[in-house]
Chain A
Amino acid sequence: QKEVEQDPGPLSVPEGAIVSLNCTYSNSAFQYFMWYRQYSRKGPELLMYTYSSGNKEDGRFTAQVDKSSKYISLFIRDSQPSDSATYLCAMEGTSGSRLTFGEGTQLTVNP
């Protein structure tokens, strides 16, 4: 079983929809949770960074962490065609050095 599970999609939504992206994990040592956005043929861009359980909001993006369920989510409100990309969740324990990535979800927002 993989440490981090993420549905690869593809996920296709109309412009303006609310998008929900999710990851589950099995390693209780993970304390830090990130979401990266990666456009085709580009490097990953850090979108959201959260520590432990709770919510974090940044513009149209909201990251949620539920450590009791080992479940993290990224919500995108009022989705735009420019949000079309692959979204990677990543997590890390307190020892540092290694990010563990999910497989990535490919999102397409249709105008």
Chain B
Amino acid sequence: DTEVTQTPKHLVMGMTNKKSLKCEQHMGHRAMYWYKQKAKKPPELMFVYSYEKLSINESVPSRFSPECPNSSLLNLHLHALQPEDSALYLCASSQDTGQGGTEAFFGQGTRLTVV
């Protein structure tokens, strides 16, 4: 099973709302990632968790708050977003981040629209 499951698939939220994106994998992977993808652009890395600890934050605004409750789950908490934050948010996981070349598997994404 190489599946990464993301919920919800679609989300529309107002600029004053608080919402959360969820990601789950059961492959025993110890690294999990959040990416943001705008139309016709490649995914952009936002956060990396390695062994449930935040290891990389790519200077993401604080209105995005990641959380890794356990090795299978990854959340992204959203608050006071702007319309320009509308994008496809992708979760990915891989075996490890200790060495290069670990195959990363992506979920189907949450399409977020901020109104």
A positions within 8 Å CB-CB of B: 8, 31-32, 34, 36, 41-46, 49, 51, 88, 92-99, 101-104, 106
Contact = CB atoms under 8 A, between A and B. Distances in A.
B99 interface: yes
A45 B4 CA distance: 11
A31 B105 CA distance: 18
A34 B103 contact: yes
8 tightest CB-CB pairs across the interface, nearest first?
A: A32-B101, A101-B42, A43-B106, A94-B100, A43-B108, A97-B97, A96-B100, A96-B97
8 contacts: A43-B90, A46-B106, A93-B100, A94-B99, A96-B98, A97-B48, A97-B97, A103-B41
Nearest to A33: B101
A99 B45 contact: yes
Contacts, number: 69
Q: Chain B interface secondary structure, helix, strand, loop or mixed?
A: loop
Contacts of B108: 42-43
Interface of B: 4, 6, 31, 40-43, 45, 48, 50, 55-56, 88, 90, 96-109, 111
Contacts of A95: 99-100
B102 to A, nearest CB: 6
Given A44-B90, A102-B42, A97 B56 contact: yes
Contact of B109 (A8, A31, A34, A42): A42
Contact of B104 (A41, A99, A103, A104): A99
